[in-house]
């Protein structure tokens, strides 16, 4: 059984807490502060995993209807969150949006059709 299979069912359990699991993980107390500093200063990009282990990378909500963001309700208001900007955390492939020719284009943010025109250009 892979790690993803072990995790996928637990995220939906009322008793599962990723923070409790992390706190219960044994720590190495025999490493000095200087040694930890050396370890952390010599980390490479490949040494760091940019995702939470309990996230399901196959199921990313990245848009809400026609909007390229997801509203996250808070205590006082909703905050717009753009998951496509942080795909690396989900172990997904990030990409640079197509920008060729945008400098020659004019955008009018008035009327009902501007979003449709921008979407058509980005899908080319």
Under the phi-then-psi rule, with left for phi > 0, alpha for psi from -120 to 50, and beta for the rest, what region is 91? left
Q: Rounded to an integer, what distance in angstroms lies between the CA atom of residue 16 and that of residue 7? A: 10
Q: Residue 121 domain-assigned? A: no
Computed over every residue of the chain, the mean pLDDT equals 70
Copy the structure tokens of residue 27.
Answer: 């720590």
Model-wide pTM > 0.75: no
Tell whether 68 is covered by a domain. no
Q: Is residue 107 part of a domain?
A: no
Residue predicted with more confidence, 80 or 3: 80
How many folded domains does the chain comprise?
A: 1
Please indicate, yes or no, if residue 81 is contained in any of the structural domains. no
Q: Is residue 102 part of a domain?
A: no
| Pairing status of strand 70-73 against strand 78-81 | antiparallel
pLDDT in tens, 6-35: 444 555 567 777 777 778 888 877 888 899
**CB 69, CB 80: distance < 8 Å:** yes
In a domain, 117, yes or no: no
Range of the domain at 47: 1-54
37-59 residue pLDDT tens: 998 899 988 887 766 666 655 66
């Amino acid at each position: 059984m892979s790690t993803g299979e072990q995790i996928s069912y637990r995220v939906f359990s009322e008793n599962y807490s990723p923070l409790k699991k992390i706190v219960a993980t044994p720590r190495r107390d025999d490493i000095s502060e200087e040694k930890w500093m050396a370890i952390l200063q010599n980390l490479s990009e490949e040494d760091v995993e940019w995702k939470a282990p309990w996230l399901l990378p196959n199921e990313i909500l990245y848009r809400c209807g026609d909007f390229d963001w997801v509203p996250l309700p808070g205590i006082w208001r909703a905050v717009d969150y753009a998951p496509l900007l942080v795909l690396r955390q989900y172990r997904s492939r990030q990409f640079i949006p197509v920008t060729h020719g945008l400098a020659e284009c004019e955008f009018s943010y008035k009327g009902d059709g501007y979003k449709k025109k921008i979407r058509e250009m980005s899908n080319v």
